[in-house]
């Protein structure tokens, strides 16, 4: 049975397990929305957002996030419902459920050839920082973001 698609103006949803669960018809973040998210994060970093990261390994509650990465889970980074897997839950309850990105995070050390379906935790400049490769400074993070924004706008 086909699920009904509902047009909400800037995004469309399909019904999930029941009518109360509405899922974005997009599976991944579109390039223009990715560039906008990168820009928001660059501005936040440049205006003093502190570097914070968490890795909750509590059974049944696995989650992680980094204030300088695409895994940031703050509504200032993701203020638009169309960027969420559950956009109506974002509008109604403020639930952050960002769409997956097929584009890289500036904090990911992997080259394009190394990227696959696995997550970036083990190649993250923040989560895997050490003496040899410390977490980026604010200036280094801004350069990574600006380079990635420029490359994305050029289409590479």
Instruction: Give the 3-state secondary structure of residue 71.
Output: coil
Q: Hey, what are 89's tokens? A: 């839950």
Q: What pLDDT digit, counting tens, does each position of 105-122 carry?
A: 999 998 877 776 577 888
Mean pLDDT of all residues in the chain? 92
DSSP code of 6? E
Return the DSSP state at 47.
T
Q: pLDDT at position 92, please?
A: 94
Burial class (CB in 10 A: 0-12, 13-18, 19+), 4: exposed
Burial of 107 (0-12, 13-18, 19+ CB in 10 A): buried
pLDDT at position 1 over 70: no
Find how far residue 128's CA is from the centre of its chain: 18
Domain count, the chain: 1
Provide the token pair at 7: 């047009």
Domain that holds residue 66: 5-154
50-64, 74-88, 102-116 — which one is most confidently predicted on average?
74-88
pLDDT for position 62: 83
């Amino acid at each position: 049975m086909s699920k009904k698609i509902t047009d909400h103006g800037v995004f469309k949803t399909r019904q999930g397990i029941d009518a109360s669960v509405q899922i974005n018809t997009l599976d991944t973040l579109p390039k223009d929305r990715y560039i906008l998210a990168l820009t928001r994060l660059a501005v936040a970093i440049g205006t003093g957002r502190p570097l914070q990261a968490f890795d909750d390994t509590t059974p049944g509650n696995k989650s992680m996030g980094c204030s300088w990465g695409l895994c940031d889970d703050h509504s200032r980074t993701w203020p638009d419902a169309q960027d969420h897997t559950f956009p109506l839950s974002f509008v109604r309850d403020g639930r952050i459920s960002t769409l997956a990105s097929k584009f890289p995070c500036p904090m990911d050390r992997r080259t394009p050839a190394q990227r696959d379906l696995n997550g970036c935790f083990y190649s993250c400049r923040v989560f895997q920082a050490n003496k040899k490769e410390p977490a980026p400074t604010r200036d280094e993070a801004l350069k990574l973001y600006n380079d990635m924004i420029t490359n994305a706008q050029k289409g590479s």
